[in-house]
Structures are given as C-alpha cells and as structure tokens.
Amino acid sequence: MKAAVLHEIGGVPRYEDFPDPVAGDDEVVIDVLAVAVENVDKLIAAGTHYAGRRYTARLPAIPAFDGIGALPDGTLVGFGNPRLPYGALAEKTVVPQGAYVAIAEGIDPATAAVLGTAITGMSIRTAAGFVPGETVLVQGATGVAGRLAVKVARLLGAGRIVATGRDDDQLREVRDLGADTVINTAVPDEALARAYLDAKGDGYDVVLDYLWGRPTEVLLRSLVPETFAFPRPTRLVQVGGSAGGGLTLAAESLRTSGVEIYGAAKGLGPQTMHEAYSQVVAWARSGELTFDVVKVPLSDIETAWQRTDLRGSRLVVVP
C-alpha cells in the first residue's frame, strides 16, 4: 500500500510503499478515507511533544493516530489507536476491535475528520461549566481550533466573545465569525494588558486558552484587582501552548484575582465526550457549525506537511 512514512525524528513524511497491515487477534484493518493533520501530529514527528516517544519509538512509522475510514463491511467509522508502526496517514491501517465509532450519516468524511477539533471549544462547558450569557475570551482565535471555539461559544449562547490573535486581517475574519471584540497580542506588554482590561467589561467568565506563554502571563497580571473588593471568578481552560510552553505565574494572580485554572480534559469521560461530540455532530448536520478544510491527496503529503498558508483552515489528507 501507499503511505506517508516518517524515517527520522524531525523529518518530513514521504509518500512511498509500506507493507499492508494484517489484522491479528481482536484487530481489524480499516480502509482510510480522510485524516486531519493537526499540530500535535507535527509535534510528535518533530520529537517535541511530551507524549511523542510512544509513537516514534520504532521507525520508519506512519504518522497520525486517528481518522475516518471504512470497516471491511463498508461501515464508515471514526477510528483511533492504530497498532504501531501503522498510523492513519496511509491507504490502510489496523486498530483494535472497538477502537472506532460509526460516524453520523450525511457528513462528508473530510468534515467528519475535523469534528474532533471543535471538541476543544466545548471544553468551556465540560471543563469550566459555562452557562449561556457568560463572557468568553478565546486566546488564539485565529487558528483552526480557535475559530471553531468562537463559533461554538456563540452557538452555546455566550453573552460576549472576546478573541485574540496576532494578525489584524485574520482578526477581522474572526469578528465575522461571531467575536464581539478582538485584541491583537502583537503589541508591548503594557498595551496588551490595557487592551485586556478595556475589553473585559464586567469580567471574563471563561477563558479558553490556546496560547499560554507571554499573552496569558500578561492576561493573568491584568486580572489582579487594584482593591480588596471580592473578585469575580474567571475560569481559565488551558488547551494549547502555541505562544510558549511556560509562563511566570505571580502568587497574587491566583490569590486575589479569582482565577481558577483547569486543563481541557477536566470533566471529560465517556458520557460527557459523547454528549459534546453529539452536539458538534448535530450542529454540523444542521449547517449551524461549518468547517474550513483544505483537502489534499496522500501523494502530496511532503508538500502539504510543510504548508504555512492555511490561515485557519484544517489540512485533510485523502488517500
């Protein structure tokens, strides 16, 4: 079969022949139909993701660990957890029995491949307990997941949405998606802190953070009150680290600000994941939630892997 094959950590997958997978006991071979290439896939291939060693311990290997495919009987499924060194970026892969779920009828495989990206937006509810009418700040709203988060927050009934990014043109696009106010983080710290204060109104109820690093450090400092008044709680959900893997967190940023910090996986379990996924599927089927995808054939993986011009669209590889 043909596959995207990674030969070395930090390399670019190459389109070439790879042995067909053979199902063992309690396994099934899946014909792959669509795979969304996400930042985590590239970080793992680069050797910079904290969980990446598991996927690259044996090389050559095929990147990506989930996608959309067909079972031997033709049933369309979303699958995960391929048996190494097989990954999703191939014509076929092999997964444990049960490591798949049927996808909803009426959804194109390429769209189905990116439904999971919207789940991070749902973490404002699953992790932070969002209720309609609250103010949501999306840190890093110009990326694929950030744009979807703005849409999800609007669909969930956010009273106000504030969105941040580094590019004014893209921030204008995010405003068109439903953000009420946008903030450009590519300014000096003092100006950024002032922008956060000017935009917060009565306060940020939930912060969905895809950035971490400097912008979030400035945000947390800006939320420290200037008086001893009781603070309004701000629930920050940490999702990604595109602006940095660490920050300096002053004690007063927690002691007096009312900030509560959660990881995006807080509150997730089989039931809540099913509910979140079902809601995203329902929005997708109704057309209320749309996904910007750029489809490329597997044969173009070397060029596609290195693209930097997607501007908020998700790369989807179609074998």
Residues 105 and 127 in one domain: no
Q: What is the pLDDT along the chain (319 residues), one digit of tens a residue?
A: 999 999 999 999 999 999 999 999 999 999 999 999 988 889 888 888 877 777 788 899 999 999 999 999 999 999 999 999 999 999 999 999 989 989 887 889 999 999 989 999 999 999 999 999 999 999 999 999 999 999 999 999 999 999 999 999 999 999 999 999 999 999 999 999 999 999 999 999 999 999 999 999 999 999 998 777 777 899 999 999 989 989 999 888 888 888 999 999 999 888 998 899 889 999 999 999 999 999 999 999 999 999 988 888 999 999 8
The predicted structure's pLDDT at residue 47: 86
DSSP classification of residue 48: -
> Is the residue at 269 inside a domain?
no
**283: Cα within 13 Å, side-chain hemisphere:** 22
> Is the residue at 64 inside a domain?
yes
* 28 phi-psi bin (left φ>0, alpha ψ -120 to 50, beta other): beta
Residue 80's H or E segment, with its range, is strand 76-80
User: For residue 302, what are the domain limits?
Assistant: 2-114+291-318
Bridge pairing between strands 27-37 and 92-96: antiparallel
pTM, 2 dp: 0.87
Residues 61 and 188 in one domain: no
Nearest in space to 119 (alpha carbons), one of 231, 278, 290: 278
Nearest in space to 175 (alpha carbons), one of 188, 186, 164, 185: 164
Residues 155 and 251 in one domain: yes
> Is the residue at 200 inside a domain?
yes
Residues 124 and 85 in one domain: no
> Is the residue at 93 inside a domain?
yes
Residues 227 and 243 in one domain: yes
Task: Give the domain-ending residue among 263, 279, 305.
Answer: 263
Task: Report the amino acid identity of residue 235.
Answer: R
Nearest in space to 92 (alpha carbons), one of 13, 7, 33, 26: 33
Token reading at 307: 């693209």
Residues 125 and 205 in one domain: yes
Q: Which residues of 110-129 are buried (b: 16+ CB within 10 A; e: fewer)?
A: bbbbbbbbbbbbbbbbbbbe
CATH number at residue 134: 3.40.50.720
Residues 195 and 105 in one domain: no
Residues 87 and 136 in one domain: no
Instruction: Using alpha carbons only, give the angle 309, 315, 317 rounded to the nearest 5 degrees.
Output: 135
> Is the residue at 284 inside a domain?
no
The predicted structure's pLDDT at residue 212: 97
> Is the residue at 268 inside a domain?
no
The predicted structure's pLDDT at residue 46: 85
Sign (positive/negative) of CA torsion 162, 165, 168, 171?
negative
Residues 39 and 133 in one domain: no
> Is the residue at 277 inside a domain?
no
The predicted structure's pLDDT at residue 227: 75
Where do runs of H (alpha helix) occur along the chain?
Answer: 39-46, 53-56, 109-112, 119-126, 144-155, 168-177, 189-199, 213-222, 251-255, 270-286, 301-305
Residues 175 and 92 in one domain: no
Please tell me the distance from the alpha carbon of residue 237 to that of residue 207, in angstroms, as a whole number: 6
CATH number at residue 58: 3.90.180.10
> Is the residue at 275 inside a domain?
no
Residues 132 and 76 in one domain: no
Task: Give the dihedral of Cα atoms 83, 240, 112, 284; nearest 10 deg.
Answer: 160
Report the number of distinct structural domains present in the chain. Answer: 2
Residues 19 and 65 in one domain: yes
Please tell me the distance from the alpha carbon of residue 319 to that of residue 316, in angstroms, as a whole number: 10
